[in-house]
Copies of this chain bind each other. A is one copy, B any other.
Amino acid sequence: MTEKTISRAVITRLPRYYRYLGELLENDIERISSKELSERMNVTASQIRQDFNNFGGFGQQGYGYNVEYLYHEIGKILGLTKIHNAVIIGAGNVGRAIANYQDFEKRGFHFAAIFDNNPDMIGRRIAGCIVMSTDVMEEYFMNNDVEIVALTVPKSSAPAVAAKVVSWGVKAIWNFAPTDLSLPGDVLVENVHLAESLMRLSYKIKEKDM
């Protein structure tokens, strides 16, 4: 395996392959050629072969890819073969959307708790998540092995909350606050900046209108 050297662009495409292969599996499709996969995914067949070659190929010339095997191999590469314990901080709409998203659990992301400081929310259950007071957050982190924090608090409190959970040992933050967190180098951050996504759309609109 040469995973260490593969580019960020390939990594960005892997979850999409994984999603498509999952859909094929659900439809009981056992085998697919790079040509068929390419038509469904709207990428070139040579791009697909090149991407998969980063991981040793997966396929047999002329026979196409075994969907289930490929699905599991890509899942392994993406780190989806283990359970990831996670919590959500912030029970606003975005936090609740994450708690309700059943696909995450299916892929091994177990969101056990959702912290908020709104007394009206505390004690409620959102899908499999219990809303807990931020007052007991430190205690929770001390007693549970939390790998991922989904940070869905307002921008103003995000840096302080992130710093706190990092001081409690968290090494991976899924950040929805519209700000870049400045954290120690060994903390992994994946940002979802909705406003930036919307601005890319307005850029495309403007480009087309010119």
- Which residue on B lies nearest to A23, using beta carbons? B179
- Interface SS of A by simple majority: helix
**Is the beta-carbon distance between A15 and B196 smaller than 8 angstroms?**
yes
Say yes or no: A97 contacts B107, CB within 8 Å. Answer: no
Contact across chains for B18 and A199 when beta carbons are under 8 A apart: yes
Q: Which residues of chain B have C-beta atoms less than 8 A from A92's C-beta?
A: 97, 100
A203 and B74 CA atoms in complex are apart in Å by 10
Please state if B93 and A195 are interface contacts (CB–CB under 8 Å). Answer: no
A195 near B103: Cβ-Cβ < 8 Å: yes
A103 to B188, CA, bound (A): 26
Instruction: Give the size range of A's interface with the partner.
Output: 35 or more
Which A residues fall within an 8 A CB radius of B? 3-4, 11-12, 14-16, 18-19, 41-42, 77-80, 84, 92-94, 96-98, 100-101, 103-104, 107-109, 147-148, 171-172, 174, 178, 180, 182, 186, 188, 190, 192-208, 210
Do residues B193 and A15 form an inter-chain contact, with CB atoms below 8 A? Answer: yes
Give the CA-CA distance A19 to B12 in the complex, in Å: 23
A147 touches B205 (CB 8 A): yes
Distance in angstroms from A147 CB to nearest chain B CB is: 7
Across the A-B interface, the 7 shortest Cβ-Cβ residue pairs: A79-B206, A93-B97, A15-B196, A15-B199, A79-B202, A190-B201, A188-B204
